[in-house]
């Protein structure tokens, strides 16, 4: 065996967190006589629009995407994350994750440390929270600033102060004051609706799938978009990194969560990626589109850290990062993520990259620039190797084309992918997320639950 072969990393923290009870009788016994609470969406602190649903965090924690996190965080843990991006068990982690409720709900529930709270979703028992601590968020605005950083405190990468135009900042600003901290356990497995059901590969299942396919090396592609040919080339070409041969697999992991107007619908995103392999542009044997539930915080370098954790837990050896990774607006340097993974960002607690600090990550970053069409090379060319003037493919140009009902040429968007956009366009009456889609999505969520 070559000493250069890269092996699949262990989950972050050493073992996968799995907190899902599948035995319904056992689950019923576990919740007998316990108080219950209907999960409510987090509403925008000014507009009242849903901006987050904690059910997505409970799913991602209990199925191990966020290993080694096991529940809603205690105050000391949140404080440590804000200071040095570490959990109390030392492992690195970027964001506070809490189960927050209003003072009124807290008073009405009358629960405290040692109590087990049943969490209902869509009127059905879904999970339990074993409360270990109750603490309060005194100043959500300060929490929001501490979560993302400020130009003064994080001069390496933060360019503008965060404000209510940043959807991630709004999530933290909108949290309720009472935090119930403790471990979550899912007691009634939700069922994903089509088309999401066939993209659900939580870490244990994805690792088994990699084994089945004989994938030792796997590179992840983060997405929140319907893929155009520029994305396709990033996926295919980043995979060449590998070890003694290109990566065996390309994992596409779409972040599914609260939507913003103008995004593509999640249904079109997952089926659009699937269409890339059904059309043979990337061999299905080498390509697997999947999902993770998460209301994006758009924290660029911090978000990339979470992405690294999720995909290492899923069994990936490599992670592709591009420009403006998981970014919105101009809050961060557009290369902030690549700076984190090549040099580190000391002000966030990383004097070295997250792969080079104690209790850090094992997944390897693959930092990429962009692909665009070169009329001289007559091919999709890489910005750092082609020396010609290229025809840039901007997302807004493509969106304008789609909105106008003009089919993009296949060198820009594969016809199979465009068909998926039109399929969901006909379904929703709109090619992008409109008000109705955004509101309905947070009402219906991605799952249904049976009676326990």
Q: Which residues bind Zn ion (CB under 5 A)?
A: 374, 376-377, 381, 386, 388
Measured from the CB atom, the residue of 252 and 276 that comes closer to other proteins is: 276
Residue with Cβ nearer Zn ion (230 or 308):
230
Is the Cα dihedral 446, 73, 167, 399 positive or negative?
negative
Instruction: Compare residues 15 and 261 and give the one whose CB is closer to other proteins.
Output: 261
Reading the block at residue 305, the tokens are: 């850290």
Q: At its nearest, how many Å lie between Zn ion and the CB of residue 237? A: 15
As a whole number of angstroms, the distance between CA 237 and CA 233 comes to 6
Least distance (Å) between residue 388 CB and Zn ion: 3
Q: How far is the CB of 55 from other proteins (least distance, A)?
A: 27
Cβ 231 to Zn ion shortest distance, Å = 20
- If one counts every other C-beta atom within 10 angstroms of the C-beta of residue 157, the result is 22
Q: Which is nearer to Zn ion, 373 or 425 (CB)?
A: 373
Q: What is the closest distance, in whole angstroms, from the C-beta atom of residue 323 to Zn ion in the complex? A: 20
> Counting Cβ atoms within 10 Å, is residue 367 exposed (0-12), middle (13-18) or buried (19+)?
middle
- Min CB(418)–other proteins separation in Å: 8
If the CB atoms of residues 347 and 407 are measured against other proteins, the closer one turns out to be: 407
Chain positions contacting other proteins, by CB under 8 A:
261, 373, 375, 378, 391, 400-401, 403-412, 419, 422, 425-426, 429-431, 434-436
Q: How far is the CB of 430 from other proteins (least distance, A)?
A: 6
d(CA 391, CA 374): 6
Tell me which of other proteins, Zn ion, none is bound by residue 208, counting a contact when its beta carbon lies within the kind-specific cut-off of 5 to 8 angstroms. Answer: none
Residue 152 interaction partner, one of Zn ion, other proteins, none, beta carbon < 5-8 Å per kind? none
Task: Identify which of residues 108 and 376 has a Cβ nearer to other proteins in the complex.
Answer: 376
Which of Zn ion, other proteins, none sits in contact with 76, Cβ below 5 to 8 A by type? none
3-state SS of 6-34 is CCCCCCCCCCCCCCECCCHHHHHHHHCCC
Closer of 252 and 393 to Zn ion (Cβ): 393
- CA 359 to chain CA centroid, Å, is 21
Q: Which does 106 bind (CB under 5 to 8 A by kind): Zn ion, other proteins, none?
A: none
Residues 407 and 418: beta-carbon distance below 8 Å: yes
Q: Which is nearer to Zn ion, 170 or 374 (CB)?
A: 374
Other CB atoms within 10 Å distance of the CB of residue 103:
11
| Residue 404 contact partner, candidates Zn ion, other proteins, none, CB within 5 to 8 A by sort of partner | other proteins
**Residue 57 vs 416, nearer CB to other proteins:** 416
**392 binding partner (options other proteins, Zn ion, none; Cβ < 5 to 8 Å by kind):** none
Read off the tokens for 104. 């009124």
| 283, burial (CB in 10 Å: exposed 0-12, middle 13-18, buried 19+) | exposed
Tokens 């999505």 found at:
441
**Residue nearer to Zn ion on the CB measure, 342 or 376:** 376
**Distance in Å, CB of 419 to other proteins, minimum:** 7
Closest contact distance (angstroms) between CB of 230 and other proteins is 11
Structure tokens at 435: 């008000």
Give yes or no for a contact between 187 and 167, defined as CB atoms under 8 angstroms apart: no
Question: How far apart are CB 210 and other proteins at their closest, in Å?
Answer: 36
Residue 403 interacts, among Zn ion, other proteins, none and using kind-specific CB cut-offs from 5 to 8 Å, with other proteins
Q: Which of Zn ion, other proteins, none does residue 419 bind (CB under 5 to 8 Å by kind)?
A: other proteins
What is the SS3 assignment for 385? coil
Binds 412, which of Zn ion, other proteins, none (CB < 5 to 8 A, cut-off by type)? other proteins
Min. distance of Cβ 228 from other proteins in angstroms? 12
Nearer Cβ to other proteins (156/267): 267
Residue 192, helix vs strand vs coil = strand
5 binds, among other proteins, Zn ion, none (CB under 5 to 8 A by kind): none
- In terms of Cβ atoms closer than 10 Å to its own Cβ (0-12, 13-18, 19+), residue 380 is buried
Residue 241 and residue 247 in contact, taking contact as beta carbons nearer than 8 Å: yes
Long-range residue pairs from 32-37, CB within 8 A, at least 24 positions apart, any chain: 34/115, 34/116, 34/117, 34/118, 34/128, 35/109, 35/110, 35/111, 35/115, 35/117, 35/118, 36/117, 36/118, 36/119, 36/120, 36/125, 37/101, 37/105, 37/109, 37/117, 37/118, 37/119, 37/120
Q: Tell me the C-alpha to C-alpha distance, in Å, between residue 25 and each of 21, 126, 179, 429.
A: 10, 14, 30, 43
Three-class SS of residue 47? coil
Residue 388 binding: pick among Zn ion, other proteins, none (C-beta 5-8 Å cut-off by kind): Zn ion
């Amino acid at each position: 065996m070559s000493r250069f072969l890269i092996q699949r990393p262990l989950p972050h923290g050493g073992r996968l967190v799995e907190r899902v009870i599948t035995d319904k009788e056992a689950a019923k016994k576990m919740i007998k006589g316990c108080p219950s609470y209907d999960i409510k969406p987090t509403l925008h602190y000014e507009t009242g629009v849903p901006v987050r649903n904690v059910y997505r965090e409970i799913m991602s924690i209990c199925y191990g995407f966020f290993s080694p996190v096991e529940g809603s965080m205690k105050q000391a843990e949140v404080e440590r994350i804000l200071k040095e991006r570490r959990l109390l068990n030392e492992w690195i982690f970027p964001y506070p994750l809490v189960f927050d409720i209003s003072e009124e709900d807290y008073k009405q529930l009358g629960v405290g440390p040692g109590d087990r709270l049943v969490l209902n979703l869509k009127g059905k028992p879904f999970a339990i929270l074993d409360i270990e601590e109750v603490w309060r968020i005194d100043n959500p605005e300060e929490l929001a600033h501490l979560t993302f950083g400020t130009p003064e405190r994080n001069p390496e990468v933060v360019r503008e102060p965060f404000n209510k135009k940043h959807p991630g900042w709004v999530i933290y600003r909108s949290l309720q004051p009472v935090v119930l901290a403790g471990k979550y356990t899912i007691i009634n497995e939700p069922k994903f609706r089509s088309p999401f059901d066939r993209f659900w590969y939580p870490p244990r299942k994805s690792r088994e799938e990699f084994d089945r396919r004989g994938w030792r090396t796997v590179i992840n592609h983060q997405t929140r978009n319907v893929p155009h040919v520029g994305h396709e080339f990033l996926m295919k070409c980043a995979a060449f990194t590998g070890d003694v041969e290109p990566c065996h697999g390309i994992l596409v992991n779409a972040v599914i969560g609260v939507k913003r107007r103008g995004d593509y619908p999640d249904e079109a995103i997952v089926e659009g990626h699937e269409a890339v392999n059904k059309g043979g542009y990337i061999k299905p044997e080498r390509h697997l589109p999947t999902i993770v539930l998460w209301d994006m915080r758009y924290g660029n370098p911090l978000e990339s850290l979470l992405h690294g954790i999720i995909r290492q837990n899923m069994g990936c050896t490599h992670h592709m990062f591009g420009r403006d990774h998981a970014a919105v607006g101009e809050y961060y340097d557009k290369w902030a993520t690549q700076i984190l993974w090549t040099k580190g960002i000391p002000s966030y607690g990383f004097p070295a990259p997250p792969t080079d600090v104690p209790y850090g990550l094992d997944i390897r970053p693959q930092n990429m620039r962009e692909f665009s069409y070169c009329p001289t090379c007559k091919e999709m060319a890489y910005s750092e190797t082609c020396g010609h003037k290229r025809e840039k493919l901007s997302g807004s140009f493509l969106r304008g084309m789609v909105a106008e009902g003009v089919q993009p040429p296949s060198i820009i968007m594969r016809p199979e992918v465009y068909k998926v956009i039109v399929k969901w366009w006909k379904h929703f009456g709109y090619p992008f997320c409109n008000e109705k889609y955004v509101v309905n999505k947070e009402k219906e969520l991605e799952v249904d639950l049976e009676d326990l």
